[in-house]
Amino acid sequence: MLLSLARDANCIDVGANVGKILSSILAAAPDGRHIAFEPVRHLRESLMRRFPMVDVRGEAVADYTGMAEFDVVPDLPSRSGLSTTLALDQHWRTEKVSVPVISLDEAVDDQSPPALIKIDVEGGELGVVRGAERILRQFRPTLAFEHQKGSSGTVNRKATDELYAALHGHGYRVFDMDGAEQTAGRFMDCYLRGARWNFVAHS
């Protein structure tokens, strides 16, 4: 997928964490304008040092603009997320912080149309997609996203159905990383069984 990007493709990394995917994005599209969102402070500061050419931002991404509680998991920061969408095992040690929240439609202007949006937000995928309706409609970027049950094992069938419906409603087809297209039923089955959790959607 990354190899298919043009050198000047613009990309958005939502939930950049330690920058593993961001590093690959930069290698594939070194001339693009890239935005990375990472609300966990020490991760964000590390990204800013390592990737000075990237617009690194501290907002969480959802379908609204404002402030929200964000659960930071100090022992495993990659599991951190918005308190309203995160499903953590009760044994995880967490720290609640207040973070700014923004939608992609609000954050991204028409001067840098994205070719790829990567989403890894620990349960908040539906909010990210709902907050990017203009971007999806205008620019048709490829989406690479994670969707799985939280570490608590909590099942959210409604959010899974609504995520697939939101993508389908924008004319997107969903595939797993082996290239198998997902019907609504297959997507739900992958979610319930934990058989797949990384997906690609494109129109």
pLDDT, tens digit (0-9, with 9 covering 90-100), for 8-63: 999 999 999 999 999 999 999 999 999 999 999 999 999 999 999 999 999 999 99
On the question of pLDDT at 133 being above 70, the answer is yes
User: Distance between terminal CA atoms of the chain?
Assistant: 14
Does residue 26 belong to any structural domain of this protein?
yes
**Pair 119, 146: CB distance under 8 Å:** yes
For the entire predicted model, the pTM comes to 0.95
**Residue 150 lies inside a defined structural domain of this protein:** yes
The answer to whether residue 169 sits within a structural domain is no
Query: Whole domain around residue 84: which residue ranges?
Result: 2-157
Query: What is the spatial distance between Cα 63 and Cα 24, in angstroms, rounded to a whole number?
Result: 27
* Cβ-based neighbours of 120, under 8 Å, separated by 6 or more: 14, 15, 17, 21, 78, 145, 146
- Does 151 score more than 80 pLDDT? no
Residue 177 lies in a domain: no
pLDDT at 195 over 90: no
Query: Using CA atoms, how far apart are residues 4 and 23, in angstroms rounded to an integer?
Result: 16
- For residue 78, the domain's CATH number is 3.40.50.150
* Residue 168 resides in a domain: no
Mean pLDDT computed over 145-172: 90
In a domain? residue 193: no
> How many structural domains are present in the chain?
1
